[in-house]
Homo-oligomer: A and B are copies of this chain.
């Protein structure tokens, strides 16, 4: 029997009583590229099922574990199980006070902290819904949290707040900005380049669109005292019919990051208003999440960090869409996410574990 056809070796069970550093390394050493999370979901579900105070449900390769102690408040603590593809950064390695390896930062360190809480805090002062989900690193339709929100919203919507264990350098990143993507279509008229004056070169005419983008000064919007810095970037320019043809179309794709203060409709009107003389095809618009600091004030105090605005879009917006205020909080430098050299500092793992443990106890 060839190795390829051998049954997968039995996994050592995840030991949730282990130190958070060992648990992080065990998770890193359990490869789980997006779409291939069955083994890690098995291991997580099995470990959580051994805990008497949690009810565990498996949904695809996502796992939801809920306490049901009748507490006045319920919190979601969520993290994704998948990683981007490996980049020569396996197995895990502990050096210089950091756990190195694929997903250490994004976000197996955060998952390890959450699993430690699940095991160590058997009688939390607030009920907890732990969510470990698949396919965060790929298209939104496959995202495990999206699927739970779509298929089983009640599993999430009864929470009073949510903590997404996104790497945030153990700081609090509140809310998130929205994303709008649109094609701006510049039209011209084809001609043979040997008689270019008979046509209208759409690529030349696109200079106006690109110059307007270059001149554009994005707004800075303050919500709950946090400054969200918007952005409007061309992410693609495409023109060209053939080497001897004056192109009759040039498409500039723009990516707009808009503050949580704006609705999808407002963001769309804003971008259309910048390019009133062009066809603007909006291909994606996803609102962000307001910080709602008042509703998470107790948690923020417990985490001991001054909230910062989250500029990138994260899954906190999915909680916001369900009416659940959410913030990003997790160990690891977010700028290391998706890099071959990603790591998570041991100190931040311990800090996050301690702060959240205290908040739950």
Contacts and interface: CB of A to CB of B under 8 A. Distances in A.
A214 B201 contact: yes
B235 A237 contact: no
A308 B240 CA distance: 30
Contacts of A205: 210, 214
Interface stretch (A122-130, A244-252, A318-326): A244-252
Contacts of A210: 203-207, 210
B197 A229 contact: yes
B257 A194 contact: yes
A5 interface: no
Contacts of A253: 240, 243
Contacts of A231: 193-197
A237 B255 CA distance: 18
Nearest to A203: B234
Nearest to A312: B194
A235 B229 contact: no
A211 B212 CA distance: 12
B233 A193 contact: yes
Nearest to A191: B233
Interface in A179-215: 181, 192-197, 201, 203-211, 213-214
A242 interface: yes
Contact of A243 (B181, B211, B229, B245): B181
Given A204-B210, A207-B211, A210-B203, A237 B234 contact: no
A241 interface: yes
Contact of A194 (B197, B203, B242, B311): B311
A239 interface: yes
Given A194-B257, A229-B197, A237-B237, A211 B211 contact: yes
Contacts of A306: none
Given A210-B206, A210-B210, A257-B194, A240 B238 contact: yes
A326 to B, nearest CB: 17
A313 interface: yes
A168 interface: no
Contacts of A328: none
B312 A234 contact: no
A2 interface: no
A177 interface: yes
Contacts of A250: 237
Interface in A211-233: 211, 213-214, 218, 229, 231-233
Interface of A: 177, 181, 192-197, 201, 203-211, 213-214, 218, 229, 231-247, 250, 252-253, 255, 257, 311-313
Give 5 nearest A-B pairs by CB, closest first. Answer: A236-B240, A207-B210, A204-B214, A207-B211, A194-B312
Given A196-B231, A207-B209, A211-B211, 5 more contacts: A196-B257, A204-B233, A208-B211, A237-B237, A243-B253
